[in-house]
Amino acid sequence: MSTPRPRSTYSSKHSRKRQGLVFWIALSLFLVGGGVVAKWRPFALARYTGAPAPVPTPSPSLRLHKQYIYAGNRMVATDEPYPTAIGDAATFISQQVPSQMNAGQTYGVSLTFQNTGLSDWDTSNYQLISQNPTNNNTWGLSSVVLPADVFGTTLTGPGINHQAIFNFSVTAPAAAGTYNFQWGMAHNGGPFTAASTNISVTVAFSPKIVFTSWRDGNSQIYSMNSDGSNVVRLTNNTASDEYAKWSPDGTKIVFGSNRDGHYEIYLMNADGSNQTRLTNSTVQNHYPGWSPGGTKIAFASDRDGNREIYVMNADGSGQSRLTNNAATDSQPAWSPDGTKIVFQSNRDGVMQLYVMNADGSGQTLVPNSAGTQATWAAGPKIVFSTSRSGNSDVYVVNADGTGLINLSNNPASDGSAPTWSPDGTMIVFGSNRDGNDEIYSMNADGTNQTRLTNNSASDRYPSWQSLAAPPNQIVVVRDSFTAADGVELSQHVGELGASWAQPSYSHNSKDYIYSNRVTHEVTGYRNIYYASGQPQSSCYAQATFTLLGPATGAAVAGLVFRLDPESEDYYYASYDRSAGNWAIYSNLDGATTQLASWSEALTTGDVRTVRVEAAGGSLTLFINGTNRIAITNADHAAAGRVGVLMSGSTSSTTGLAISNFEAGTKPIP
């Protein structure tokens, strides 16, 4: 009897292979029969280019798509839905970005990122987004789509050659300054990689000049760089378009046109698009001029029988008349703080310059100003055209008629609409000194007169683009006096710009904080504190006044503004408990003068919101939002610091208290 032959290793292996084959066949039949499709991806780790093929709706127990991935040297099945991304990752490679730009100009840039992750990048879900901060619009856009012209609809997976090169254009900010330029890859808006190297781009403001030219047959509006280059036509029609002026933020242009049969005021974008009519009458409307805040437009109109000055909102609404006389009033221009308008009038027999308040009141002749076409620079200077020397020249004069100087001083006619540059260092004007009307520029003192345009047609009425957007109401000092009871005011640092100090001429007595209010003066002398913030000439100061209770002796609390810490010159608005009135005072060289008052008897517990506005030569006191005192006094036109004033023997529970102090620049109309 023979001994049984043992099973060989070979047979065992084949038996296991046969068993495995049977298992896989059975599994395949089960999967196909059950309506589940297994997606084999043996050539890449978790790599796919889209959603799986449509499948019948499985039973609730089979709702997950099954996918296979390689893990090491074997395949593993995972019961998970296909993710929106697997392994998003990128590496910044390079960028080409100018380190210096001109405000408002467009520049081409390029950034390259490499796909170092496991996911495909497709144009529908992947993009470049701005960083520092995320999704900012500093450069005119916040995201850039994956470039389909380079990769088609899908960037096929990670690898050494799988790079996304983004070539696109950005627009530099309108205001000069230093700005961050940084971008990174994102998936459906969510950044997933380190951003590009941040570049600090210096943006310089290079203002454009808009002007009227007949070079194409009729008067049309053109723009050019401040050196005369890059002339661009902005209007194009068979009518006359002229006398254009930039808006203060440089984005709009207002101009006159007779395209509808007679002259009306129109508005357009800086590139000439979206031309819109603002006035609509059967007479001439001409010579528009922007308020420095960009909210108003002054203009001349014949609608009431003769030419007068009118004003309207920037959208054409709210048109109202400012001047009213039998003479010709024309060509208005605003002061830089928006409180005054200079214009020309022949009401005294010859054409001269006059100044009025923005509401039309206080119309006053500017001495030594026989002339036309005036504009106002920052400060008191007005540039205008006059023929007093026998021919038309460009002159400058202070608003009070002093400092008259001939700037152009040329035997030709230099009288076409002289206009200040945004920073007040240059003047652009029209002249025929070279045979026909051309545009010239010169320094503010008349030196370096340079021709900017050069053609056989007339170029006239230039206007310089503004530096940046108009200022808003910016708070420069704020203090809610949050401190422990008994803290002396000079030891307290407020929330914003409110580090309190006393001028040398204050009586140096002590005011303290109780219940978040300034109160309690130890002695009966007038005591002043001023904040470290310094508003501009058009400014406001505001606070809450509370009458805590009866007090022995006088009790006065006030807001101080336009204070000079070095000399005893300041103004203040206060409430005097003993006199029972609100008043505005000046204190010049130690002499206190009451300028105006308004009576109100406060009783214990009364609370008032007190606000003082200073603009140009005007001071206005508001109590609970109502105008109670308004004065005009040119002596206090200069800027200065703001603060609080206390006087009279009080305590922490009696007399007047001040809380919620705020001061800042006043909005310009």
Sign (positive or negative) of CA dihedral 633, 637, 643, 649: negative
- Residues paired with residue 39 on neighbouring β-strands, in sequence order: 67
Q: Does 193 share its domain with 268?
A: no
Q: Does 370 share its domain with 421?
A: yes
What distance in Å separates the CA atoms of residue 271 and residue 253, rounded to the nearest whole number?
9
Gyration radius from the chain CA atoms: 37
Number of domains in the chain: 4
Q: Does 213 share its domain with 341?
A: yes
Look at residues 402, 429, 464 and tell me which one is the last residue of a structural domain: 464
342 in Cβ contact with 366 (< 8 Å): yes
Q: Does 218 share its domain with 198?
A: no
| CA 575 remoteness from chain centre | 37
Look at residues 174, 204, 234 and tell me which one is the last residue of a structural domain: 204
Q: Domain containing 547: what range?
A: 475-665
3-state secondary structure 636-666: HCCCCEEEEEEECCCCCCCEEEEEEEEEEEC
In a domain, 161, yes or no: yes
For the segment 273-296, the average pLDDT, to the nearest whole number, is 91
Q: Does 350 share its domain with 483?
A: no
Q: Please write the tens of the pLDDT for every residue from 422-440.
A: 778 889 999 999 888 999 9
Beta strands in 413-494 (DSSP E): 416-420, 426-431, 438-443, 450-451, 459-464, 475-479, 487-488
Q: Does 223 share its domain with 172?
A: no
What distance in Å separates the CA atoms of residue 109 and residue 119, rounded to the nearest whole number?
26
The pLDDT value given to residue 52: 42
Task: Tell me whether strands 143-145 and 364-370 are parallel, antiparallel or unpaired.
Answer: unpaired
293 in Cβ contact with 273 (< 8 Å): no
Look at residues 204, 224, 243 and tell me which one is the last residue of a structural domain: 204
The pLDDT value given to residue 611: 92
Q: Please say if the pLDDT value at position 41 is more than 70.
A: no
Q: Please say if the pLDDT value at position 91 is more than 60.
A: yes
Q: Please write the tens of the pLDDT for every residue from 366-421.
A: 998 888 888 887 567 899 988 887 788 999 998 888 889 999 988 888 877 899 88
Q: Does 637 share its domain with 591?
A: yes
Q: Please say if the pLDDT value at position 17 is more than 80.
A: no
Q: Which of 216, 261, 258, 253 is nearest to 241 (CA)?
A: 258
In a domain, 325, yes or no: yes
In a domain, 416, yes or no: yes
What distance in Å separates the CA atoms of residue 348 and residue 84, rounded to the nearest whole number?
80
**CATH number of domain containing 642:** 2.60.120.560
Q: Which of 610, 626, 477 is nearest to 545 (CA)?
A: 610
| pLDDT band (50, 70, 90) for residue 361 | very high
> Per the structure block, which two tokens stand in for 408?
């152009």
- Residue holding tokens 């971008």? 183
Q: Please write the tens of the pLDDT for every residue from 521-575.
A: 766 677 888 887 766 667 888 999 999 887 666 688 888 887 777 677 888 999 9
> Per the structure block, which two tokens stand in for 621?
């006191």
Q: Does 198 share its domain with 212?
A: no
The pLDDT value given to residue 473: 57
Identity of the highest mean pLDDT range in 138-152, 236-250, 371-385: 236-250
In a domain, 17, yes or no: no
Q: Does 48 share its domain with 183?
A: no
What distance in Å separates the CA atoms of residue 442 and residue 458, rounded to the nearest whole number?
19
528 in Cβ contact with 640 (< 8 Å): no
In a domain, 9, yes or no: no
pTM, 2 dp: 0.56
The pLDDT value given to residue 467: 57
In a domain, 319, yes or no: yes
**CATH number of domain containing 455:** 2.120.10.30
